[in-house]
Structure 1
Amino acid sequence: MSESTSVAKSAARKPGKAGAPVRRRSPRGEEARARILQIAIEAFAERGYHGTSINEIAKLAGITMPGLLHHFPSKIELFAAMLREQERRDNALFSTFFPVDAGVFEVLDAYVAMAKVNVGRPGVLQLFHLMTAESAAGEHPYRATAVDHFRAARSYVAEGVRHSIERGEIVAEADPERIAAQVVGMIQGLENQWLHEHDGVQLVEVFRDFVDALAARIRA
């Protein structure tokens, strides 16, 4: 659900010279790389960026440090690659719920659908919230990405509101930016509570109640 990440861009290698041969990874190399990325997702989710070492990731992945550095020459490049991979997965998933030129009711349904998915993958959800909190103050490789994520999340909702106003589906005085901030704030807050107390917070059900109440309030 996020846009292209700034950290991923900054850490990406520059393209080779024109005409230079493209190095292809062997199936074994691809398997090792995928294993490292999966371990990285889990490790960063549990301990954050600063609390995770690439030496630890190498051990967990069953690979030597030179082997890890062959695929990812630095911690920031591993982190960026991990974010790109998670972003690819999330964008592919969200696109299945999100129709083109969707109105606000379709957007809200897409967010509910993603909430249902997220309760089945607490590690990924924890990764996002941990990185968001960790990057809120000071220098952090996820800071720009977090800002992009929240802007994109609000943009999805705001655009849906505008489309619905144009189609006469909701009241004309509905404020796209305010509604967007409310929706994103609600889902983020519920996710954070649910991560701390799975049994005490019904993430999907409470968010669905909020969405239904919002829809009733703005429907034309």
Structure 2
Amino acid sequence: MTELQQTGARGPYAKSAQRSIEILDAATTVFATHGYRGGSLRDIARLLDLSLTSIVHHFGTKYELLEAVLERADKTTTGNEAFDFEAACTERGVADATLGRVRSSTDRPELLRLFAILAAESSAPTHPAHDWFVERYRRKTESLALAFAYDQKMGRVDPARDPYVLSRLLIGAWDGIQLQWLIDPSADMNSAMRAFFEWRVPEAVQGLP
């Protein structure tokens, strides 16, 4: 379901919502190519043949636009399609949900590149997105730890394993494998992630296609 379908916007509101999506798409391209510091609102406006005033009207500041880009990218597949990863973990287990997410990631290299570049940039405490990424990793670590704990309750994962350790290891492996794929698309991201589960949590992938 697209963002416009979700909001049910009509008339001038639909046009404004569509313009916001176009700006977010362009900002994603600019930030994924040049990073936050290297990309500018003027670059985004130029890409859309809009005035700088129009960009500011929709998002106010460069950081507000960056935050909107990151929030959208973190919760979607191709940019406009919503994806509830936590619900998928509950329904199918962390391993199956992760592998499904990985397969869909090959259709969104720009979003993966956006996170790779900005996560590296934001390691500097003075970066505008530093706190956002600190909170994102904290939230994802806790969420995955809870998902692994639920898998243990459902008999999908050995209860002797530490859910928090599994969570941190999965995030580290996932980020690293995505980066390798971005650098060299011939690297098979799906088989590498499956190998991680087979190595660290083999019971979680038993019976999966």
How would you bin the TM-score normalised by the shorter chain? 0.7 to 0.9
Q: Residue 137 of structure 1: which of 124, 132, 135 is its match?
A: 124
* Matched residue SS, 1:93: coil
CA distance in structure 2 between the partners assigned to 1:89 and 1:170 by the alignment: 27
Corresponding residue number in structure 1 for 2:84: 94
1:112 maps onto 2:102 in alignment:
no
Residues 48-57 or 169-178, more deviating: 169-178
Corresponding residue number in structure 2 for 1:9: none
1:37 maps onto 2:27 in alignment:
no
Question: Is contact 2:76–2:82 with CA below 8 Å preserved after alignment?
Answer: yes
Say if 1:26 and 1:41 are closer, same or farther in 2 by CA, change over 3 A: same
Say if 1:118 and 1:164 are closer, same or farther in 2 by CA, change over 3 A: closer
Q: Give the C-alpha shift of residue 176 in structure 1.
A: 1.4
User: Alignment identity in percent?
Assistant: 25
Q: Give the C-alpha shift of residue 31 in structure 1.
A: 2.5
Say if 1:168 and 1:116 are closer, same or farther in 2 by CA, change over 3 A: closer
Q: Which amino acid aligns with 1:205?
A: S
Q: Which amino acid aligns with 2:190?
A: V
Q: Which amino acid aligns with 2:102?
A: A
CA distance in structure 2 between the partners assigned to 1:116 and 1:97 by the alignment: 17
CA distance in structure 2 between the partners assigned to 1:29 and 1:115 by the alignment: 32
Q: Structure 1, residues 149-174: CA drift from partner, whole Å, max 9, x if none?
A: 22233223322332243445543321
Corresponding residue number in structure 2 for 1:184: 171
- More relative contact order in 1 or in 2 (CA 8 Å, sep 6+)? 1
Q: Give the C-alpha shift of residue 121 in structure 1.
A: 1.0
Q: Which amino acid aligns with 1:211?
A: F
TM-score (norm 2): 0.80
Corresponding residue number in structure 1 for 2:188: 202
Question: Is contact 2:89–2:96 with CA below 8 Å preserved after alignment?
Answer: no
Q: Residue 213 of structure 1: which of 188, 193, 199 is its match?
A: 199
Could you tell me which runs of 5 or more consecutive residues in structure 2 were left unpaired when the two chains were aligned: 1-10
TM-score (norm 1): 0.76
- RMSD over aligned CA atoms reads 2.6
Corresponding residue number in structure 1 for 2:7: none
Question: Is contact 1:97–1:113 with CA below 8 Å preserved after alignment?
Answer: no
* Matched residue SS, 1:98: helix
